[in-house]
Structure 1
Amino acid sequence: MQPYALTTSRAEQARAYLAKHALTPAIVLGLCKHGLYLTRNFARHGIPVLAIESNFSQPSAHTRYGFKIFCPDLHGTALVDTLLALKPWVPAATPIFPTNDRMVEGLLAHYSVLSEHFRLPFPEGDLLRRLVIKPALNRLASEAGLDVPRSFSIAGLDELEGVRNQLRFPVAVKPAMPMMSFKSRRCDDYAALAAQVEVSALVREPLIVQEWIEGDDRAILFGAYYIASNGDCLARYSGRKLMSYPALTGHAAATESYDIGERLDEGCRFLRGLGCWGLCSIEYKGLPPGEARFIEVTVGRCDWWIMGCGINGVNIPMAAYNDLTGASLPFDNMQTSAYIWHDIEHALPVLAENLLKRRWSLADGAKYLIRPKKDALWDWLDPMPFLYSMPFFFLGCIAKLFRIIVRTLRKTG
Structure 2
Amino acid sequence: MDTQKNKIATLQQPFSNLDDLADTISDVLACPVTIEDANHYVLAYSKHTENIDEARIGTIMNRKVPDKVINGLWKNGAMPKLIDSDQPVIIPEIHDIGLGNRIAISIWKKNDILGFIWAHTGMKEYTAEDLEILKEAAHQVKKYILQKLPDRRNTEKAYKDFFWQLLTADFVSNHTIQAYEKQFNIKLRDGLAIVIFHFEDHITPQIEKHASYLSETMTQVNTIFRLFDDQDLILLIRLWKENDTSDKIYQFIEHFQEKISTQLQLTSLHGAASQIYDSAKDMTQAYEEALQSLSLQKQFPEELDSCFLYEDLGIFQWVDILKEHRQKRHHTNKYIQLLQQYDKRQQSHLLHTLEKYLENDSNVHRTAKDLFIHPNTMNYRLKRIQEISHLDLKNPHQKIAVYLELLADKLTL
TM-score range, shorter chain: under 0.3
Give 1 or 2 for the bigger CA radius of gyration. 2
**What is the TM-score with the length of structure 1 in the denominator?**
0.27
**What is the TM-score with the length of structure 2 in the denominator?**
0.27
Q: Which has the higher contact order (CA 8 A, sep 6+)?
A: 1
